[in-house]
Structure formats: C-alpha cells, structure tokens
Structure 1
Amino acid sequence: MSATPTRRMIGVMLLIPLIAALALAAFAWPAARVAPHEVPVGVAGPASATAPLQQGFERRPDAFEVHRYDDEAAARAAIADRDIYGAVVATPRGPHLLTASAASPAVAQLLRDAMTAQAPEGTEAQVTDVVATPAGDPRGSALGASMLPLALAGVATGALVSLLALRGVRAVGALFGAAALAGLTATALAHSWLDVIAGNWWAEAGVFALAVLAAGSTVAGLAALLGRPGIGLGAMLMVLVGNPLSGVSSAPELLPESVGPLGQWLPPGASGSLLRSVAFFDGNAALGPALVLGLWAALGLAAVTAGARRAVPAPEGPETPSPAMRPARAA
C-alpha cells in the first residue's frame, strides 16, 4: 500500500470524528444551556400593584428585562409590536398573564411556570395567549424545524451554481429563480397544506425566497472567491453555525448570552425572526431581519459577480502563424 492512500485513510479516520464533534458541539451546546437572558417582558397597572410583580421578575438577575405599561391595552399593543414576549397585568382578581406563544412557545411556557410559582397555593393563574400559534402547529415545533431545510436549500443552490460553472448573469438568474420557486413551494407546504403559518401568503413566500437567496448567494459567492473550499465554508456557516444559533426553536434570549445576538446576524436566525413577524405579527419588527438577509444576499451576489470577472481570461493578441502556415518566399 502506497503512502498516499494510507495518508488519505488516516485523514478520513481523523476528519470524521472532528466533524462529528463540531456538529455535536454546535447543536447540543446551545440546547443544553437554554436559560433566559434579558428576556423582554412587561408589567401593567398601577405602580403600587405592579411593584411586587416586577420584583418577582427581578429575583432572577439578568433573566428578564422588565418594561412598565399603564394598562392591559398598552401591554397587548407592545406584545403585538414584538417589543416584549409577554406581560403580567395587575387586576382586582389577581395577576393576569399575557403571553404570545407565536413569538416563542418556550418563553410562553417559561412565563407560565414563573406565574404559577408565584401564585398563592390553591389558586390558578389566569393566562391569555394574545398571539397564539396556529392550530396546525400548537407547540411551534414545525416552524422551528423549517429553518434547517431552508438552510440546506440555500446551500444546495449555491453549491450547484458553483459546480455547474454558472457565471455572471446565468449564476445570478439561477440564484434568483431557484429562491423564488423554493419560496413558493415552501409556502404551499407550510401555509396551504400543513397550516403552520398564518400570515399573508405572498409575504411569507417572499420571506422563504429571501432566506434561500441569502444562503445560496453566500455559498455561491464564497465558492466564486475561494473555489470549492468556499462551498464547504458556506455550508458550515449556514448549517453548523447559523442553524443552531438561530433561536427559532426557543428564542434568541434563551441561548447562551455570548451567542444569542450573533445568531440573529446570520441568515438562519434572521429568517426565523422575519418569518415569525410576517406570519403572526402583521410584519411588526420585520425591518431588522429583512435588512440582515438583504445584506447577506447583496454581498453574496457581489462576490459571484466579482468571481465571474476574475474568471474571464485576458484577451489574447493576434495569433502568430506557425512556420508550416507561412507563405513560401519566392526564389
């Protein structure tokens, strides 16, 4: 057995455990460290009545970011605007918890547990889900599971554009066309068939398409600049980093504090936040994640264009005829 195949065999044996360790760390570490970090919540009512409620949230340092509202209507408006995940309203009959499971079922459950723990023994806390998840996805699990297929679709789009050697206008056209068709297909499945999202159909299709375009353009752009290694780098960025840090299955504020905000600057995290805003909150708080996705798409497309220009060979000078083709001189 020659040295080269032996080295390749050893390389495979060492590389696969490394990839498995990276994947396990990327997906398992955030899930194992789920805890609230500055989760925005509200208390509503007279200051004298809401003081004990606010103190209840502040018993866990840095877990909640408490906002005060004059009444229940103001708290409901803040939830609908995605300023807060929920609020506790002081009423004559006791605290009334407002949640928004469509924003994050995990945070809604966290608030219910906190409310139950503070309620006097033998009493049942009053809870109202202001913005609920649709009947087709009561636990919000389907929405969380949709981000990985979107990331994979984007990676596949960018990889195919690169491997098929599409350049310039053809590469850009393939990225836009594939993203648009993927958006229509995903919306038909998630909205029309599974009933797991409930917003404007065409707006949701635009979100899905923009998510695939941002991921696909990034992979294709990295491949245009770095060659085939760029495909692997883009895939790792979208799948091994962006997907577990997206916070879609929980909430960005429930991820480890050092990486929660980072995930919202990557396409999977921005896609999840944008889809929630469009599907359940009439587009409120959609501008930020839309700009993030647009920036990734623009940078990726610019890299694809730049790579195509570098790949164009320089024009050759006039070909010098070979001696055999030169006309014979007169004797």
Structure 2
Amino acid sequence: MRFADELKNAVTPRAALLVLGCLALQLLFITSYVGALHHPEPRDVKVAVVAPGGAAEQLTGQLNELPGSPLDARPLASEAAAREEMMNRDIDATLLVDPRGGKNDTLLVASGQGGSETRALEQIFTEVAKKQQRTVAFRDIAPASAQDANGLSSFYLVVGWCVGGYLCAAILAISAGARPANTKRAGIRLGAMALYAIVSGLLGAVIAGPVLGALPGSMWGLWGLGALTVFAVGALTLALQGIFGVVGIGLAILVIVIGGNPSAGGAFPGPMLPGFWRSIGPALPPGAATWVARSIAYFKGNNVTGPLLVLSAWAVAGTALTLAVAARVKSSRKGADDTPGGATEVVTPQTPLV
C-alpha cells in the first residue's frame, strides 16, 4: 500500500479529532496553571484590626488604601472576637495594636490555611510597621503541622482523591463502553463507584493521618470528605461519558484538573490567585474539598457547610445525569438485545483510535 493509504487507515478522522482535542487540553492546562500560579499577589485578604480608642478605624482605612489593595481590613472590638472569627475562617489574620500605647504590635496568623499567604501577610505588615516606626511580632494561632510543609498536604490529598475518582470512572467506561445500556447497568456503575469512593477515601485519610502524620484532625472526618469527593468526581465523569462518549473523559479532566486544581487554593490560597481562578475555585470539587480538609485539620471543622453542599451538588447532579442518559439510551434501543457479557454498552460501536 502507498504511504498515503497506510496513513489513512492508521489514523482515522475520529482519531485525528481526538488528537486535536488532546492538544487543546494540553494548551488549556498550560494556560490555566501558568496563568493562576505564575505571579501570586495578595488581594483583599480579610484582616481584622483590634486597637484601643478610635485607632482601629483610622488604621483600617490606612490598610485598605495600600497600593494594589492587598488587604480588606475591618475593625473588631476584641482579640477574643478576632480569634473566634479566624478559627471560623471568616478572616485570615488580625492586627493587635499595642494596648498600652507603645509601638509593639502583634499579628495573629493561621498558617494552617496556607504558608504562602501567611508569609505574604507577614511581609506586608513588616513593611507597614517599618514605615510607621513600629514593630510587629507574629503569633500563629492555627499552625500547620510540622509534617505538613506549607500546608500543602490537604491539597495533595484532595488531588489524589480526584484523580482516583475520574480514573475509576474512565476504567469502567473503557472496559464496558462509555454509555451504559440501561439504568440498571448505570446503577451498577454508580454502586461500584460508591464502593470505590468509600475504600479510597478511607485509605487516603489513613495515609495522610496516622501513617505519615501529615494532617492532624479527625481521620473519620477526612474519610467522609474523601468518600464524598471521590464519588462526586467519579459521578461527574460517568455523566460526561454518558453524554459525550469517550470525549467525556477529556471534559472531566478539563473541569477537575485544568479548571479545578490551580484554582483550589492549594499552592496559593484564594486571596493570592487572579480573579478568574479565585472565583471558580470554591465552586469546583478540588477547591471545595481542599477548604474542608484544611478546616478539619486545623480549624476544628468550622465553616464547611457551603463546600460540602458544593461537593454534594456535584455528586447528585452526576448521579442524576448518569441515570437519565442511561434511560434515554435504553429507550432508543428498545427491542434490541444487550451485547453478551457487557463487553460494550455504547449506543454506537466503538471505533478504534488508530
């Protein structure tokens, strides 16, 4: 055969389109990660100011007028109130002005929410104190574990759970066809996904907690979070595969890996990310799960309702779409026999990539 004929037979039009899709995902990956992480700058970091007399309001105004708007400062009545809001993750730091009228201030920080943000805050307030001819000491009220460098362990744990979720769903599709033949088959896949989520959630929590000692806090809480995260990502992937076939795997990677990971607040917490990634992060599984993991580890499990609802919404939506698409497939194939052994369950035969 001529080379042109060999090429035509070896690389089908469908394969060529999938390769172009792969290239698009690669370029989006580069754009998303480099765009989100190449130049982190603090912006509108929530900070409280506790000061005697009317000094709090004056100092708050000065902090809010810093070039580039790195801080979103507001006055608070007492150190106790500030500590409570910090532990509830409503604010990120607190400046305690010397109550004796001296020039020795204190900045309360919480490195458990991310070391990069803590370092940025310390740098900002060191410069502010220097300009005002004051000194500032730093006190960490929710420190990251000594085995959790820069507070990244929670993020990497979540990344592992997410990878397991979409890989398990992809394997189920590759082994038996992207689209389930009926709702019963779809239910079986979802059940297998749930079982995998329970097991992988537990093992991830055990490794990050008791085995490596990277994350303190409740191992049972992390287990529950892991199971929900893995199932949410897996159900989303199953739904996308049911709708778009094998292309759905790429779309799941687009949502979870390309969009979700750099915006999750892992390497750099949300206030240090550019506006687009800061906006989408809390609405995607990696960002929601990373927030909950850090709250479990360092903030007594506070302020997790919203992120858990986000993860639950992804799980419910993925489940509903998977079952709905399977019901539609069954209706379109009414009267046809299932393929023996379930080797393939797609509506149309799978075409080899090459």
**TM-score band (shorter)?**
0.7 to 0.9
Q: CA deviation at 1:246?
A: 1.2
The correspondence for 1:255, drawn from 260, 267, 273, is: 273
Question: What is the CA deviation profile of residues 226-285 of structure 1, one whole-angstrom value per residue up to 9, with x for unaligned ones?
Answer: 211112111221111111111222111211112312111111111111111222212211
The structure-2 alpha-carbon separation of the partners of 1:210 and 1:113, relative to structure 1 and needing over 3 Å to count, comes to same
- Specify the code of the residue in structure 2 equivalent to 1:66: A
Q: Distance in 2 between matches of 1:292 and 1:273?
A: 11
The correspondence for 2:30, drawn from 13, 24, 28, is: 24
Tell me, yes or no, if structure 1 residue 48 matches structure 2 residue 58.
no
Aligned to 1:265: 283
The correspondence for 2:106, drawn from 89, 92, 96, is: 96
Question: What is the CA deviation profile of residues 49-107 of structure 1, one whole-angstrom value per residue up to 9, with x for unaligned ones?
Answer: 32453213431343222121111111111100100011101123422100011112222
Q: CA deviation at 1:218?
A: 0.3
Q: Distance in 1 between matches of 2:24 and 2:238?
A: 25
Q: Is the 8 A contact 2:97 2:106 kept in 1?
A: yes
Q: Distance in 2 between matches of 1:4 and 1:129?
A: 66
Tell me, yes or no, if structure 1 residue 112 matches structure 2 residue 122.
yes
The correspondence for 1:230, drawn from 228, 244, 248, is: 248
Question: What is the CA deviation profile of residues 17-61 of structure 1, one whole-angstrom value per residue up to 9, with x for unaligned ones?
Answer: 544332211111111131122221111123533245321343134
Q: What is the TM-score of this pair, normalised by structure 2?
A: 0.82
- Specify the code of the residue in structure 1 equivalent to 2:174: L
Tell me, yes or no, if structure 1 residue 69 matches structure 2 residue 76.
yes
- Specify the code of the residue in structure 2 equivalent to 1:179: A
Aligned to 1:329: none
3-state SS of paired residue (1:66): strand
3-state SS of paired residue (1:109): helix
The correspondence for 2:207, drawn from 189, 199, 203, is: 189
Q: Distance in 2 between matches of 1:292 and 1:14?
A: 32
Q: Quick check: 175-184 or 136-145, which moved more?
A: 136-145
- Specify the code of the residue in structure 2 equivalent to 1:251: P
Percent identity over the alignment is 27
Q: Is the 8 A contact 1:171 1:304 kept in 2?
A: no
Q: 1:84-163 to 2 correspondence within 5 Å?
A: 84-91=91-98, 92=100, 93=102, 94-120=104-130, 125-163=136-174
Q: Is the 8 A contact 2:105 2:135 kept in 1?
A: no
Q: CA deviation at 1:132?
A: 0.6
Aligned to 2:237: 219
Q: Distance in 1 between matches of 2:22 and 2:323?
A: 34
Question: Which structure 1 residue ranges, 5 or more long, are not aligned?
Answer: 317-331
Aligned to 1:282: 300
Q: CA deviation at 1:13?
A: 8.1
Tell me, yes or no, if structure 1 residue 80 matches structure 2 residue 87.
yes
3-state SS of paired residue (2:97): strand
| Higher gyration radius (CA) | 1
Q: Distance in 1 between matches of 2:187 and 2:37?
A: 41
Aligned to 2:314: 296
3-state SS of paired residue (1:250): coil
- Specify the code of the residue in structure 1 equivalent to 2:109: T
Q: Is the 8 A contact 2:25 2:250 kept in 1?
A: no
Aligned to 1:322: none
Question: What is the CA deviation profile of residues 194-229 of structure 1, one whole-angstrom value per residue up to 9, with x for unaligned ones?
Answer: 222111111111111111111111001111122111
The structure-2 alpha-carbon separation of the partners of 1:120 and 1:62, relative to structure 1 and needing over 3 Å to count, comes to closer
Q: Is the 8 A contact 1:145 1:249 kept in 2?
A: no
Aligned to 1:319: none
RMSD: 2.5
Q: Distance in 2 between matches of 1:220 and 1:17?
A: 23
Tell me, yes or no, if structure 1 residue 37 matches structure 2 residue 43.
yes
- Specify the code of the residue in structure 1 equivalent to 2:279: P
Aligned to 2:223: 205
Aligned to 2:344: none
Point out which structure has higher relative CO (alpha carbons under 8 A, 6+ apart): 2
3-state SS of paired residue (2:283): coil
- Specify the code of the residue in structure 2 equivalent to 1:260: R
Q: Distance in 2 between matches of 1:223 and 1:301?
A: 12
3-state SS of paired residue (2:142): coil
The structure-2 alpha-carbon separation of the partners of 1:131 and 1:224, relative to structure 1 and needing over 3 Å to count, comes to same
Q: Is the 8 A contact 2:57 2:74 kept in 1?
A: no
